[in-house]
A and B are shown apart, each in its own frame.
Chain A
Amino acid sequence: MSFVEYSDIIQDGDVAIVYLGHDSMMPIKVQHGAQTQTRYGAIRHSTDLIGQRYGLKVTCTKGGWVHVLHPTPELWTVTLPHRTQILYTTDISVITMMLELKPGSVVCESGTGSGSLSHAILRTVAPTGHLHTVEFHQQRAEKAAEEFREHRVDHLVTVRNQDVCKEGFGVTGVADAVFLDIPSPWEAVGHAKAAMKRHGGRVCSFSPCIEQVQRTCEALAKHSFQEISTMEVLLRTHDVRTVSLPLPDFGPDDTAQKKETPSKQAVFMLKTTTPPREIPGHTGYLTFATKPRT
């Protein structure tokens, strides 16, 4: 198992995702002799997991069952322990495409936060790319580095504990893309430019507030970035439902061709979708730009 390469068999030391039901999953660390408690009972790692195929159904001690899935950055995003507010797959997808990430890309990121985007980047740039990620909070930086090791992706990433606005990314002239998710991205634009390849590249800044976006766009323009573009993307989920709508009774109808049975209340069944009660309406604005050749 690794977050950048699939494997078929669950092994000791793997990170696996336990699927309990819709919108209910949790990550576990597979270990000989260990047990994981779920609402359906316990999962015994040695007998239930190790040596079994990913995707299998495990019957827990209380009788209910779960599925054990191979980890992916997407599953990690919705199950990881939050140390900060994270980026979700919707924004991550747009960032990945608009930054033109692909195998071999070299990316600089700050702040690392809880590593949600980091894992997605690593998956995309593997096996020949690299991620330089900067986090100014020491514990978070350490936790991220630990997770990258556990997830067998540490060879693709360098974590630096420093302030990107003051000290930059720790590398210059190597990045194809830079991503900023920090309180004052305009202070890091110069460093972003320095970290990027001379030939050019793409930059992205994620900010929840429009004032931050305005200052960042100004800074980007001042540093001669081109194609500056700001957007936001929201996810709408459609829940499939079978709905029965009662048909009202207008009384006996003599002109009707068919004889209707007035005593039985008629219904109209239809399969449709409904939006969830509440949807995440705003995460942040995404600003992209291109660094021209310098």
Chain B
Amino acid sequence: MADKQDDDAMYTINEGDYVVLKRGDIFKAVQIQSRKKMAFEKQWFFLDNAVGHLYGTTFEILPGGSLQPQKQKDALSSTDAMEAGTDNRNIVDDGKSQKLTRDDIETLKEQGLKGQEIIQQLIDNSSTFRDKTEYAQDKYIKKKKKKYESTVSILKPTCRILALMYHGREPGKICHLRYDTLAQMLTLANIHAGSKVLVFETCAGLVLGAVMERMGGYGSVIQMYPGGGPVRAGVESFGFPPPFHDTLHDFPICQVNALLAGTLDTSAKDPNTADATHPHVAAEETATQPATVQRDGPEEASMDTNASGHCGDQRVDEERERGKEAKAELKRAKQEQRRKRLEAAAAQLEGRNADGLVIASRFHPCPVLMSLLRFLAPSRPFVVYSQYKEPLVDCFTKLKEQGGTVNLRLTDTWLRHYQVLPNRTHPVLLMSGGGGYLLSGTTVATEQSAPATSAADLSQEPAPKRLKASES
């Protein structure tokens, strides 16, 4: 059916795709590149054979590093036929129950035995396996599977998968933002298609990508960035189609005050890049000069007359000129591009009618929040993430003093996973210690003469208790 083919196209792995490798609970975001060796979970392989297969496929890693789609799972997991004990009172842990040595196992691996087969060997050579209870056998097999199965699944990237990945692999890069906290942020900020959202983050682009995913390519996202340029490595991992990037703008926060004051000059040279490009251009020029001279060198040498030597010099000069011209053109084009981007972003911000604000960075959130709130329309949500609670207490206090916001809430979420198995259901042993804190609220129309206390403004803080008079 034509439909079937079209549908499949959407779910097929292509070269150049950004994907996520998965084994068990371990994820890694990579790009499919032919003949590129991938390292994942102590194994090395090539993704070439994955191209053309469907997302979600699990592959066997063959010796040599090529991938092969995994066939139907064998019934290793069924332990019904195996005999089992009733408890562990007679099982002695002397480290000698497994007869196979490390070398034996290595040999088996080299012989090309699949994970399933190695595990079967381990079971057969374990003197205590038969005495374990069924549950212990189950646990043993699961553990060995984790260690010896050499499979990898290839998944389409989603916010859920990338958030899990970053939190598990590189939490420091995302300010220790746990995935459920990110989930709260996206919902509390009412991120949806068609809105205009401001994002300030130093979470490797994960938060930005998550916001973009929830906007579906509709509306616009303006990334406010500190320093020289926006960091967006994480956004690539989402594998958005090109039109999505048209909705993404960026604006340097060092220009925010100018924009708010109405004095932003987009034609001015960006102070960060002006100094940077000049030495570069100079260096490039000097680098090309010897090259051009060298190229003409042998030609010069082959000519004997003065006249031809003079022609050679002229050619060198012309080449040099053209080189300089090209460089200058490129620089001008880039500057023009940068200026256009800045203008476009400024146009989005000037109206001060953004629909949402999301802040998640290693910077102290207070100044960022107080400054960027001014770009929000009234009756719109904002969410601030901080790894620590105190900076958000500061934000809360400042917001209360200033007015202009309601529904302020300082929260964090507690997340617990469960193992659910017959007669073995319980919370998982290790819990995530902390996932960061959130401050959320809604803007309201600001008024000059709004007094701090009023009948309707039920302060969230009850008055501090009056102290009893001292009796000394």
Contact = CB atoms under 8 A, between A and B. Distances in A.
Interface stretch (A26-34, A87-95, A139-147, A159-167): A87-95
B186 interface: yes
B193 interface: yes
Interface in A160-209: 198-200
A214 interface: yes
B224 interface: no
B420 to A, nearest CB: 5
A258 interface: no
Interface of A: 4-6, 8, 19-22, 24, 40, 53-57, 63-70, 72-75, 89-90, 92-94, 96-98, 100, 102-104, 120, 123-124, 126-128, 198-200, 210, 213-214, 217-218, 228-244, 246, 249, 262-265, 267, 269, 271-273, 285, 287, 292-293
Given A8-B377, A97-B179, A127-B218, 15 more contacts: A92-B187, A97-B180, A97-B182, A102-B216, A103-B215, A120-B187, A123-B190, A124-B192, A124-B214, A210-B425, A218-B422, A237-B411, A238-B410, A241-B464, A271-B393
Contacts of A236: 411-414
Interface stretch (B119-127, B308-316, B443-451): B443-451
Contacts of B443: 55
Interface residues of B, number: 74
Nearest to B182: A97
Contacts of A199: 7, 11, 54, 56
14 contacts: A4-B192, A21-B458, A64-B455, A65-B454, A67-B444, A69-B444, A89-B188, A96-B186, A97-B183, A100-B159, A232-B416, A236-B413, A239-B460, A244-B467
Contact of A97 (B159, B406, B409): B159
Nearest to B455: A64
B467 A246 contact: yes
Interface in B281-328: none
Given A72-B190, A249-B472, A292-B56, A64 B377 contact: no
Interface in B394-419: 396-397, 406-407, 409-418
Interface stretch (B100-108, B129-137, B198-206, B378-386): B378-386
A200 B57 CA distance: 11
A56 B443 CA distance: 10
B218 to A, nearest CB: 6
A155 to B, nearest CB: 14
B420 A214 contact: yes
A128 B216 contact: yes
Contact of A70 (B184, B379, B416): B379
A288 B449 CA distance: 51
Nearest to B418: A230
B445 A56 contact: yes
A57 B445 contact: yes
A217 B422 CA distance: 10
Contact of B456 (A21, A69, A228): A21
A264 B447 CA distance: 41
A65 B444 contact: no
Nearest to B212: A102
Given A55-B378, A293-B54, A231 B454 contact: no
B464 A65 contact: no
B373 to A, nearest CB: 13
Contacts of A234: 413-414
A198 B461 CA distance: 54
A267 B468 CA distance: 11
B467 A57 contact: no
B467 A267 contact: yes
A240 to B, nearest CB: 5
Contacts of B444: 19, 55-57, 67, 69
Contact of A273 (B182, B381, B393, B464): B393
A22 B397 contact: no
B470 A265 contact: yes
Contact of B380 (A6, A98, A218, A272): A6
A240 B393 contact: yes
Contacts of A72: 190, 381
A243 to B, nearest CB: 7
A214 B159 CA distance: 28
